[in-house]
Chain A
């Protein structure tokens, strides 16, 4: 396979390479809505000082959902146990901060390593089987991990949670404050950096090959995509992301509850991603905003029964059809639609180079 493509490359190397490179560059160019989103997120530090805790939560959920999007949206792996990596990262960061070293950024790396290793080890279990098998395997792993955390009370605090986690200043410089401002800036920076990395990853040939696997594994293999290796790689990356999200939660709350491994976390993150849309990374962020605000609003109205309405939202989304949610703008008048499309699809730098 490789010799073939090399030969083909020799014949028309300049042409194909430039076309492919241009297309990839077009894909990875920054779009207007992304820039607006990030500017808004950073502006919120100054504009919404009283909502730091909610914003922090949104940032963490967003990162978690992005990590699920990497495997669900790009590789097409349905997981009901993604919370396992989130919880593992949360516990790793908590235990590390409590017993070894309190500086959070180091903790992030430790949590990332821990869930990355676990993700790598378990990724071989999702290679085989149908959707159902994958669902059950991921669910089973998450349940096992929850059971372990519950039983190893000497290390994890068991059902009472891991308390007494003292988190030091970030990089030794920035102390976490009472209003959560430092926490939000910290989470936002991590989210921003990791989203940029994920963008880079999915808009590279690597991401395209994942989409090929999702679309049709047999054909992907025929054009020479090593699908097993790709799935292992993306699953590990997603585990790292989820672990970092969990670590962020530990660092901003100074506490790890057994709840981080609960089933509803895995279900919630699915809902978040579906609310925002699957397969373009920003679905995680938009979904996190919608979900968190929705839940906060519902839990103010019906403190005990918000779960009902969340469930109803899920049912309605599915019955209406997920793909129709993404097409809401088709109900707008035509002129508005065109303008919207132009704004959304505007890409940074493209006009200057005259490629659009």
Chain B
């Protein structure tokens, strides 16, 4: 029982780390980026290649995945995404679905269609007993790591100069520009950070979520659920939504496997119908 709860929390944390970048692009830049899952997938594949073929240690892989995917995100933002910020939503959807298709086929081409496995370092393997409950060490690692990240992100967004610049750019881009904030650079950096976090999440999740070419499509729904249910006006909203989703999904698959993912989709539709701005959103200011 508690094990499931803990697994759910770890799973939710992971979802949050990947989805937070999506929350930023969706909520702050108003860009429907369905290709976000593809960034996470790239992070996962980078880890797999580096660990299995070049023997790089797992922790370095996490860092490299974060940086590499962040760079990829920045490049794509500068070259392609930026043109579409003001495009109709249909265009954004088509564009990002196109990217997803390309990434799936590319993953097939380079890595093959099979599930990729990684060998965790020995200190993260196995389970330990906490208060009589068996808990996977890796889950603890994920939970602690992600909790630290969440706090850091929240502090970065509220306490640092960059955070206030970002919030200003989002609240009113024109005025922010007038105050001398380079809005497009702020957005590019934020986009890079978001993609980097997705890459990091994908790298960490390779062991938990599984990794095959359909990852980009399979999990994007979950990330979107996190963002739409959690609302996009804060970090805490998506965070709570991710935790809820993680626990509900793990528990649902354990207790009532015959219903499967049905409940989650149903709850999402209901939330969207009754609270179109998300469960934890303050009333839309604009």
* Residues in chain B near residue A313, CB distance under 8 A: 98
A200 on the interface (CB 8 Å rule)? no
Provide the main secondary structure of the chain A interface. Answer: helix
State whether A136 and B224 are in contact (beta carbons under 8 Å apart), knowing that A147-B260, A270-B93 are contacts in the complex.
yes
Contact with A along B262-284 (1 / 0, CB 8 A): 10011011001100100000000
Residue B32, interface by CB 8 Å: yes
**Residue A139, interface by CB 8 Å:** yes
Identify B100's interface contact among A128, A305, A311, CB under 8 A. Answer: A311
In the assembled complex, B174 has its CB within 8 A of some CB on chain A: no
By a CB distance below 8 angstroms, the chain B residues around A188 are none
Segment from A27-35, A166-174, A314-322, A348-356 that makes contact with B: A314-322
Q: Mark B80-107, 1 if CB is under 8 A from A, else 0.
A: 1001100101111111011111111110
B259 at the interface (CB under 8 A from A): yes
The reply on B108 being an interface residue by CB < 8 A is yes
User: A300-318 interface mask toward B, CB cutoff 8 Å, 1 = contact, 0 = none?
Assistant: 0000111111111111011
Cα distance A354–B117 when bound, in Å? 74
CB neighbours of A264 from chain B (8 A): 217
What residues of chain B lie closer than 8 Å to A72, measured between beta carbons?
90
List B contacts of A128 (CB < 8 A): 273, 276
B273 / chain A contacts, CB cutoff of 8 Å? 125, 128, 137
Give CA–CA (A179, B2) in the complex, Å: 60
| Chain B CB within 8 A of A135 CB | yes
- Cα of A78 to Cα of B266 in the assembled complex, Å: 20
- Report how far A143 CA is from B217 CA in the complex, Å: 12
Nearest-CB distance from A143 to chain B (Å)? 5
Q: How far is the CA of A210 from the CA of B108 in the complex (A)?
A: 43
Structural contact, A132 and B32, CB atoms closer than 8 A: yes
Give the bracket for the number of chain B residues in contact with chain A. Answer: 35 or more
A150 at the interface (CB under 8 A from B): yes
Q: Name the B residues within 8 Å of A312 (CB-CB).
A: 98, 102
The answer to whether A143 and B89 have CB atoms under 8 Å apart is no
For chain A residues 33-75, which have a beta carbon within 8 Å of chain B?
Answer: 72
List residues of chain A with CB within 8 A of the CB of B190. none
In the complex where A132-B228, A135-B89 touch, is A314 in contact with B266 (Cβ < 8 A)? no
A314 touches B32 (CB 8 A): no
26 A-B pairs whose Cβ atoms sit less than 8 Å apart in the complex: A78-B93, A125-B269, A128-B273, A129-B276, A131-B89, A133-B228, A136-B228, A139-B221, A140-B268, A140-B272, A144-B262, A304-B105, A304-B108, A304-B109, A308-B106, A310-B101, A311-B101, A311-B105, A312-B102, A317-B94, A317-B98, A318-B87, A318-B91, A318-B95, A319-B83, A322-B91
Do A151 and B91 touch (CB < 8 A)?
no
A130 CB → nearest B CB, Å: 7
Residues of chain A with a CB closer than 8 A to B104's CB:
307-308, 311
**Judging by beta carbons under 8 Å apart, are B102 and A308 in contact?**
yes
Bound Cα distance from A143 to B225, whole angstroms: 12
B261 at the interface (CB under 8 A from A): yes
**In the docked arrangement, what's the CA distance between A313 and B94, Å?**
10
Q: When the two chains form their complex, are residues A314 and B98 in contact, meaning their CB atoms are under 8 A apart?
A: yes
Asked whether A78 lies within 8 Å of B97 as measured between CB atoms, the reply is no
Interface string of A121-164 (1 = CB under 8 A from B): 00001001111110111011101100110110000000000000
B109 and A133 contacting across the interface, CB-CB below 8 Å: no
